[in-house]
Amino acid sequence: MDKNVMELSVVVPIYNESENLAVLHRRLTEAVSALTDRYELIFVNDGSRDDSFPRLCMLAAADPHTVYVNFSRNFGHQIAVTAGLDYARGQAVVIIDGDLQDPPELIPELYRKYQEGYEVVYAQRAKRKGESWFKKVTAKWFYRILRKITNIDMPVDTGDFRLIDRKVVDCLKRMPEKNKFLRGQIAWIGFRQTAVLFERQERLHGKTGYPFSKMLKFALDGITGFSDKPLAWVTKTGFCISALSFGIIVYALCAHFIFRQTVSGWTSIVVSSMFLGGIQLFSIGIIGEYVNRINKNVLNRPLYIVESTNGTETAGF
């Protein structure tokens, strides 16, 4: 192989991980340098509010393998990973979280599977430690429901921690959607995929950058990006409710003209109008989520703005 070819890139999104950076850098370097000396560690600083960025600059100054990409503000985890992929030059690219929940020591195992010929080697959680029951339960059900309502074979219990081949990175770059859901996109792309099991650790320091609002947006991106079933549900519910209302109208007319007993009382009216109002709002909400995503894609803004970097973009959107 050509001596100048970069063999392995590691992409790490960083949002307020200042206390984790030194350990992270050391453990990544140990794990990756054992595999090859043509590697790079790409840290994407996603608008951290702590001193992650100055610390990254220090690491980059001392280590020629370290690349930093500094965003102008917080753009979100999926966008940070996307930027990392745009800057990655490696033939194989590992995506890993920056809080050490994903152990860097698993990378050699992912790399071995890659050398066996797999284009996607994802790390599957056998166990997850130190996360709230709420997160575990919602995540568990979300991925199972998502699998049911989308037509693609999305593996359960996997995050973005995985190794992907250059071919897959190039395919991802040809998918210009603005609402990224990388694990779904990678499943959609296909190729030979396999899993390596691991135990997910607690985050070393700091707290999660994924509050409920971000989790919800992420979940909606997954659903709207890969399924149009919710729109079909809206249509079907509308149809059923119309049929039901038609029945009620017939009943009301018969009651009035044939049996001469006009239905009295407001309870039924209130209940049915509340019910209908609720269904209508919910349906408009679902449609709105899709329209909003169409709008974002029509606006066609850049996905992220880079303030400074010591790397070079390898081509992208």
Stretch that binds ligand UDP, among 94-102, 114-122, 219-227, 237-245 (CB under 6 A): 94-102
Assess 15 for contact with ligand UDP (CB under 6 A): yes
Answer for which of 97, 119, 157, 165 binds ligand UDP (CB under 6 A) is 97
Assess 210 for contact with ligand UDP (CB under 6 A): yes
Assess 86 for contact with ligand UDP (CB under 6 A): no
Instruction: Pick the closer one to Mg ion by CB: 99 or 157.
Output: 99
Q: Least distance in Å: CB of 101 to ligand UDP?
A: 5
By a kind-dependent CB cut-off of 5 to 8 A, residue 200 interacts, out of Mg ion, ligand UDP, none, with none
Instruction: Pick the closer one to ligand UDP by CB: 74 or 314.
Output: 74
Q: Least distance in Å: CB of 250 to ligand UDP?
A: 53
Instruction: Pick the closer one to ligand UDP by CB: 48 or 91.
Output: 48
Assess 208 for contact with ligand UDP (CB under 6 A): yes
By a kind-dependent CB cut-off of 5 to 8 A, residue 14 interacts, out of Mg ion, ligand UDP, none, with ligand UDP
Instruction: Pick the closer one to ligand UDP by CB: 81 or 172.
Output: 81
- What are the DSSP calls for the chain, one per residue? --TT---EEEEEEESS-GGGHHHHHHHHHHHHHTT-SSEEEEEEE-S-SSTHHHHHHHHHHH-TTEEEEEESS---HHHHHHHHHHH---SEEEE--TTSSS-GGGHHHHHHHHHTT-SEEEEEEEEE-S--HHHHHHHHHHHHHHHHHSSS-PPTTEEEEEEEEHHHHHHHHT---SS--HHHHHHHH-SSEEEEEEEEPPPSSS--S--HHHHHHHHHHHHHHH--HHHHHHHHHHHHHHHHHHHHHHHHHHHHHTS------SHHHHHHHHHHHHHHHHHHHHHHHHHHHHHHHHHT--S--EEEESS---S--
**123 to 162, contacts with ligand UDP by CB under 6 A?**
none
Residues that bind Mg ion (CB under 5 A): 99, 101, 203
Which residues sit at the interface with ligand UDP, rule CB under 6 A? 13-15, 17, 46, 74, 76-77, 80, 97-99, 101, 203, 208-210
